[in-house]
Chains A and B, each alone.
Chain A
């Protein structure tokens, strides 16, 4: 059974550009969460989507947006990139059954902003 997949694996962008990251959850999982992990730190929560609706948002600027598609895959968009957006972006999927919800993480997309 395939795990959470993310694309692309690596990405290099310049300041001011826009980027779209993609995530496919585990089959049967209807919830997707996005996290940003800056080098040397733990992941920070960005968004969670369930059944195509946003359920939660972390403390990130409006330059960050996301959406979930009918097949439960998701995209994270970041506009007007800053050097500080350089990070590993992780996607996690969950069934959102009984609390606590187990979250399964993908391998991440490494974004470098120059």
Chain B
């Protein structure tokens, strides 16, 4: 069974600080890995998409890394802002079925002033 595991489940950080979220996956064959941001009660919004050949990708203050050999990814948030408070979901796509995405349960990030 394809699985995507995220850690920690939740974290609280002070505004301006950095944090790193982790994602481990067993999805095979691997096609691409995505990070989404989901505000409470809203649909997920894509932050980054990385294919097998990419090991890092940035989107503003968000930087994702991918190690396809160890099947691990991380999302680093730099200089956090109150608006970064949300759930961050790791999503992995398998093989040619790119429409069939496997979602992690998400990490809930709370940024406090």
Which of B11-19, B64-72, B101-109 makes up part of the contact surface? B101-109
> Would you call the interface of chain B mostly helix, strand, loop, or mixed?
strand
B104 touches A42 (CB 8 A): yes
B4 at interface, CB cutoff 8 A:
yes
Q: How far is the CA of A68 from the CA of B58 in the complex (A)?
A: 35
Taking a contact as CB atoms closer than 8 A, the residue among B36, B91, B99, B103 that contacts A56 in the complex is B99
Q: Scan B37-63; emit 1 where CB is below 8 A from any A CB, else 0.
A: 000011111100101000000000000
Check A110 for interface membership: any CB of B closer than 8 A: yes
- The 6 listed contacts between A and B (C-beta, < 8 Å) are A40-B105, A99-B31, A100-B31, A100-B49, A105-B36, A110-B41
Which A residues are within 8 Å of any B CB, using their own CB?
4, 31, 33, 35, 40-45, 48, 55-56, 58, 88, 90, 92, 94, 96, 99-108, 110
